Each structure stands twice: as C-alpha cells, then as structure tokens.
Amino acid sequence: MKIVLLGAPGAGKGTQAKALSEKLSIPHISTGDIFRANIKGNTPLGIKAKGYIDKGELVPDELTVEIVKDRLANPDCEKGFILDGFPRTIPQAEYLDKVLNNMKIDLDATLLINVDDKDIIERMSGRRTCPNCGASYHVVFNPTKVEGVCDVCSTPVIQRPDDAAETVLNRLETYHKQTQPLISYYEKAGKLKVAQGADEVDETTARVFKALGI
C-alpha cells in the first residue's frame, strides 16, 4: 500500500507509521527523521534545515521535495511506503502527485490521525525520543520499560529540542496554517481516511488499521 499520514505534530504519526511498516512490510519514510539524521551528521542539508526546525518552522519546500523524490526512487518502495510528515504544504502535495504520476503510482490512502490541540500540547511535553535509534515514547502513555532508557538500544532518551513548550506552540500554528489545508486537498481527491487518536497507542493502531481496511 502507498499511504500518506497526516496529523498535527505529536498526533502519533511516527508511532503509527512504525506499526504500519511492520504490519505491511513496507518502508516508513519520515522527512523529520531524515532531517535529524542530517543534522546529526552535520551535512550541508542538516546545517540548512536546523535553523528552521529549532524554531518550529517548516524547512523550505525546495530543500524537502528532492529528498523525498530520491527516497521514493529506492527499490524498497516498489511494494509500497508510508510517508510520515510529508507532504506538509499544498505545493509539496502537488509535487508528490507529479512524482507519483511520473512513476505511474497511485496513492491508496491519506490517513489523518485526528487529535485536539489541547491533547497535542500534553502529549508533546511528555514525549521522549531516543537520539540513537529514533524510537519514540511518552512518560505517561507509552513509557520506556526502564525509566529514562530506550527499550530498543538502551540509550538514554531525551526530549527533542523542538518539543520544548514554546516551540510546540509554533509548530502547532505552522500546522494549522500550512498543513491543515491538505485535509480538504485529499478529501477532494477522494483519498482521505480519518482515525481519531486515542491516549493508548494500541487503541489508535487498531483504529488506524480499521480505517485503512487492513
């Protein structure tokens, strides 16, 4: 299946993308993860992207679309893929349509994980991430088995710098202004499916699978 995940920052796209990736054996493509890997590696892309990300703003489209195009050309995407965090603007969605059209690929679905702003703020303040393997946790809703340490690779988990309170508000504002219009974009295209985000990760996963009919 070829799936786009939509939703506010902190709605659980990354967590659900991993569940979908395992269930369907297709790659999880997160532009946020790609940027963070580039920042960690101090690459030219990482250096350019860091300033925007730290402020809670979007990285400009022209820096973002090329990395997605390259990634989709990888043979592991032939069976399908889950795009998490891309597209985030109408021009990015139009670009994606063009790229997929050229590849003779049709999206199966765009799945919106719907979560209220109030819950988003609560979730993001409790979110912890592994700086080594990227695994994501929440101090209340999805805690690590051993406090403060990643279940997968035992690295101490951290709060992402852009999950700090003032940046979260900026990211939410950015989401409403620039990304939310994609909901009607995909609705008009007849591709939109919706799953209400729940506090429990497994419950959200069940709703996501149901919405996608898998």
**CA–CA gap between residue 99 and residue 122 (Å, rounded):** 36
Catalytic residue among 88, 123, 128, 207: 88
For the chain, count helices (H), then strands (E). Answer: 9, 7
Q: Which is nearer to ligand AMP, 147 or 166 (CB)?
A: 166
User: Where in 104-163 is the site for ligand AMP (CB under 6 A)?
Assistant: 162
Within residues 37-56, the interface with ligand AMP by CB under 6 A covers 52-53
Is 7 one of the binding residues for ligand AMP (CB under 6 A)?
no
Interaction mask 57-96, ligand AMP, x per CB under 6 A: xxx----x--------------------xxxx---x----
The length of the chain in residues reads 214
Among 15, 16, 21, 31, binds ligand AMP (CB under 6 A): 31
Task: Report the first-to-last Cα separation within the chain, whole angstroms.
Answer: 10
Is residue 45 within 8 Å of residue 35, measured between CB atoms? yes
71, 123, 128, 171: which one binds ligand AMP (CB under 6 A):
171
Using alpha carbons, select from 103, 102, 114, 107 the residue that is nearest to residue 86: 107
Active-site residues, by number, are 13, 88, 127, 160, 171
